[in-house]
Amino acid sequence: MIRPNRHRLQVRQRPVLASLLALALAWPMAASAEAPVLNELEYFHKRGLDVLVFNNYYDGLFSDSKHAGVELVHHGVRTATNGDVRLSPTPEQWDPVALMVDRQVDRDSGTVTTRLGYAAESFEYSIRVAPAGEGVRLQVVFDQPLPAALEGRAGFNLEFLPSAYWGKSWLSDRGSGQLPLYPSGPTERDPEGKPRRLPMASGRTLTLAPEDPQRRVTIHSRDGELGLYDGRNQAQNGWYVVRGELPAGRTGVVLEWTLEGNTVPGWTRDTVIGHSQVGYHPAQRKVAVLENDRNGAAPGRARLLRIDTDGREHQAHAAEAKHWGPYLRYEYYTFDFSDVREPGVYVIEAAGQRSNAFRIATDAYATAWHPTLDVFLPVQMDHMFVNEAYRVWHGRSHMDDARQVPPDKEHFDLFGQGPDLDSPFQPGEHIPGLNYGGWYDAGDYDIRTQTHYATVLSLVDTWEQFRPERDETTVGQNKQHVEIHRPDGVPDLLQQIEHGTLALIAQHRVFGHAIPGIVEPDLGQYTHLGDAVTKTDGKVDDPDDPDSPHDDRLAFTSNTTALNFGSAAALAAAGRALQGYNDALAEECLATAKKVWEFEHSREPNLFRVGNTTGGDPEDEELRAAVQLLLSTGEAKYAERIEALWPAIDARFGFNAAYAVAALPEMGEPFKAKLRARAEAFKAERSKMVAENPYGVLITRGGWAGNGAVIGMATTNYRLHKAFPDLFDIEPTLQGLNYLYGTHPDSNISFVSAVGAKSKQVAYGMNRADFSFIAGGIVPGVLVLKPDFPENKEDWPFLWGQNEYVINLGASYIYLVHAAQDLLSTR
């Protein structure tokens, strides 16, 4: 067994640069010299520095999610990730990643050893990490020499977050420089004429940010060169990469680095005062949550200050922050000021921090949904020219939709076609009738049917239950033209329902069934950043013309039972909402929904599944269709089917309760009694779900952060409260909004862009390359990296699991705000 060398490495350096490096490492003089210790959560820790070693692994759906391998959390900020063997100096998201074989933790030696491999090359290796100096020693170990196919390609990479380092210096034993704000090379052409990335720095020793004691990191390489690359030259979401090439013909320890991160003596993370950036209704519960470093002192006394028109401040409430307890890596306290009901502008002071100003007012939530309906949803509208005053958001995009996908096509973004096309069109053939309606699903430009019907259902619920007639947008379907902030006399909500419905009904007109969706054919188009109108040439592809660019999007056309039921549910609902506005479309929608119902009950279910694009659980989707058809027709057969689907309601009550409640007026007393009993049990289940954290919501732990679950539980609580007010209080609904608006881990930023005093201004929307936002978009939120690190980066938009807008979240948020206003309207 190869044992790690525990002596500090000695590196020959040029005299002047050696002195500079020595100065960088020594300052501040009081810096702690101890190494991090392997803790009970299986990562290396000391105050101010954590080194994670494959506590997180590559996302199985999207390959490189920038939270895997060896990672650094430096003074409370995750600054480095993806420490692993890669096949390029600056790999892109879809480039190959190794598969984990095994991970072993040796507590006696304080070592973490991870076994990984590239199956295509039949190559395995180990990465071994142990404490050393002020950091860790990192070794790459080969049992067999590097395969010939990987010679010159394989290297160990460690990626550093650009926003944590740009503008800062670097020092190596060969020179110095500054890390650029914007990528500027260097690159060259290889012998084949392709661009080749070159390092901006090299040497055996490299220090990043020597001038910044909170970001200073030094890497020593035992015997190989270090190269510092700028991954953004290849892709806007790239990071700075420190790389060491792996040698051919060797076994054993083939690469050894000592990685040291400076730590500030006595450093503690500033307390975060979690509160609603939008404010509070006078009658609701008002609790700020203080997120405290476990090494810091208790927050002590907190104060609520009311601010007068002349800026004078008056103490409205004060109390000792109440200790809640530990959650993840922090300690939590609460400050309850529910008794303060006087309208006004307030701030909170606690633990040396001061919150942004917020309101207590009866209309605190009145306009909070406006940016989502006024701006976000119009900006996402596909097949439309979208203009806002002097700004063109995008041209009339994808007017050349769409081409038939070939059979057995596997797409990189969770779409896939089975052996049957379920389509009258031949592979590559243009499909007429798909070039209108629909929204860009998220921060990319595909039309995902499952998201669309969820969005339409939420918008219809808002229209039917709350009837908001706000009109701020001109939507011209005939001219395919949208003008934001220009009323046209029609409620915007109806026009958005119509736009989503047009995309859904088009599928049934063309194919006779719902399809998974329409998506870009290749990575070159998929990674497009900019106006979507420039993604294609706007001309229908000619499959027989060799000069045709073949850039039209692909339609994935599988006829799955789940998608059909989900689409039918939205069409049945839209049929009600559109009556009196677009009667012809309303009638077609209901007739189509009925036809789908009969079709699916006349055949064996098609359960073909790929990724997350072929529908949800078939029984859940059927329940939604049954409920919407029952509400639209009142026919007994749908009520009977809802009764028969009770096992699905019971088994997945949190997902299905809202639909069961919606059906109650058309169901009998036995069903209502059964639903009440199940709801009472769910109340206890939910209490257990939210008990682990101080925020009163379910904080999920998946690769996509949990704002969708937060909104879903909050709206479900609203519906259950309306059905069973003696069982369900209003506060869980309001807590969901408070969470979105800033009462959450990691920061107190509002996750709804342009809503609240301090809101998301750097997000994963279509304008993410500009480090900007779309007003009213809602991001996924706090991602909990294993084992205990909550994160939402406001300075780096490209982490989709934290920052990507999606249309269904916007629609469900609009509903939630209206629900909150309804609950508080009589208080």
Tell me the pLDDT band of 64, cut-offs 50, 70 and 90. Answer: confident
pLDDT digits (tens, 9 = 90+) for 408-439: 999 999 999 999 999 999 999 999 999 999 99
Per-residue tokens: 589: 């929608």
**DSSP conformation letters of 403-460:** EEPPTTPBPTTS-B--S---SSSPTT-B-TT-SSS-B--SSS--EEHHHHHHHHHHHH
Check residue 19 and give its pLDDT. 41
In this structure, what CATH number is given to the domain that contains residue 326? 2.60.40.10
Q: Give the pLDDT band (50/70/90) at residue 546.
A: confident
Asked, for residue 719, whether it belongs to a domain, the answer is: yes
> Is 39 domain-assigned?
yes
Helix/strand/coil for 286: coil
pLDDT tens-digit readout, 646-696: 999 999 999 999 999 999 999 999 999 999 999 999 999 999 999 999 999
Query: Residues 171, 143: contact at Cβ < 8 Å?
Result: no
Rounded (5°) CA angle 235-241-247: 120
Say if CB 452 and CB 804 are below 8 A apart.
no
My answer on whether 673 and 696 are in the same domain is: yes
User: What is the predicted pLDDT for the residue at 714?
Assistant: 98
In a domain, 267, yes or no: no
572-617 pLDDT, tens digit each: 999 999 999 999 999 999 999 999 999 999 999 999 999 999 999 9
The domain that holds 202 is classified in CATH as: 2.70.98
Q: What is the per-residue pLDDT across 72-130, written as a single tens digit (0 to 9) for each?
A: 999 999 999 999 999 999 999 889 999 999 999 999 999 999 999 999 999 999 999 99
| 147 and 287 fall within a common domain | no
Task: Say yes or no: 334 and 402 in one domain.
Answer: no
Cβ-Cβ contacts under 8 Å for 708 (sequence gap 6 or more): 780, 806, 808, 809, 812
Order of strands across the sheet that contains 44-46: 37-38, 44-46, 49-53, 70-74, 77-86, 155-160, 240-245, 226-230, 201-203
To 5 degrees, how large is the angle CA 471–CA 476–CA 481? 110
Tokens read off for 294? 């476990």
pLDDT at residue number 196: 86
Q: Answer yes or no: are the C-beta atoms of 147 and 121 closer than 8 Å.
A: yes
Q: pTM of this prediction?
A: 0.94
CA proximity to 497, closest of 355, 385, 381: 381
Mean pLDDT of the chain: 94
| CATH code of the domain covering residue 578 | 1.50.10.10
Percent of the chain at pLDDT exceeding 70? 96
Number of Cα atoms under 13 Å in the Cβ half of residue 809: 27
Q: What is the mean pLDDT of residues 154-179?
A: 97
Q: What is the pLDDT of residue 542?
A: 86
Q: What is the rounded CA–CA span in Å between residue 723 and residue 410?
A: 45
Q: Can you tell me the distance from the alpha carbon of 361 to that of 345, in angstroms, rounded to the nearest whole number?
A: 9
Q: Is the pLDDT of residue 474 over 80?
A: yes
- Placement of tokens 């002349």 in the chain: 310
Q: What is the DSSP code string of 319-370?
A: EEPEEEEEETTEEEEEEE-TT----EEEEEEETTEEPPPEEE-TTTTTTTTH
Q: Provide mean pLDDT across the span 384-411.
A: 97
The pLDDT assigned to 60 comes to 66
CA 519, CA 552: separation in Å to the nearest integer? 9
Q: Please, are residues 490 and 471 in contact by the beta-carbon 8 Å criterion?
A: yes
Same domain, 174 and 276: no
Residue 32 has pLDDT above 70, yes or no: no
The reply to whether 406 falls in a domain is yes
The β-bridge relationship of strands 403-404 and 554-556 is parallel
Look at residue 232 in the predicted model and tell me its pLDDT: 96
- Of 316, 338, 360, which residue sits at a domain end? 360
Residues 470 and 612 in one domain: yes
| Residues 645 and 715 placed together within one structural domain of the fold | yes
Residue 30 has pLDDT above 60, yes or no: no
Shared-domain flag, residues 255 and 281:
no
Mean pLDDT, to the nearest integer, of 368-388?
A: 98
Q: Which residues contact 477 (CB under 8 A, 6 or more apart)?
A: 436, 498, 499, 502
Sequence-ordered strand ranges (E) for 237-309? 240-245, 252-261, 272-274, 279-280, 287-292, 301-307
Residue 136: is its pLDDT beyond 80? yes
**What would the mean pLDDT of 701-726 be, rounded to a whole number?**
96
Whether 66 is covered by a domain: the verdict is: yes
Q: Domain check: are 565 and 595 in the same one?
A: yes
pLDDT (mean) for 220-243:
96
User: Is residue 5 situated within a structural domain?
Assistant: no
End residue of a domain, out of 290, 325, 360: 360
Same domain, 569 and 640: yes
In the predicted structure, residue 1 carries a pLDDT above the cut 90 = no
If you average pLDDT over residues 325-349, what whole number do you get? 98
Residue 783 maps to a domain: yes
Q: Is residue 413 part of a domain?
A: yes
Shared domain check, 614 and 592: yes
Mean pLDDT throughout 152-181? 97
Q: What are the DSSP calls for 36-53, one per residue?
A: PEE-TTSSEEETTEEEEE
* Whether residues 354 and 412 fall in one domain: no
Mean pLDDT across 444-450: 96
Range of the domain at 174: 15-261
Average pLDDT over residues 451-467: 98
Domain count, the chain: 3
Among 308, 333, 360, which residue terminates a domain?
Answer: 360
Same structural domain, 310 and 447: no
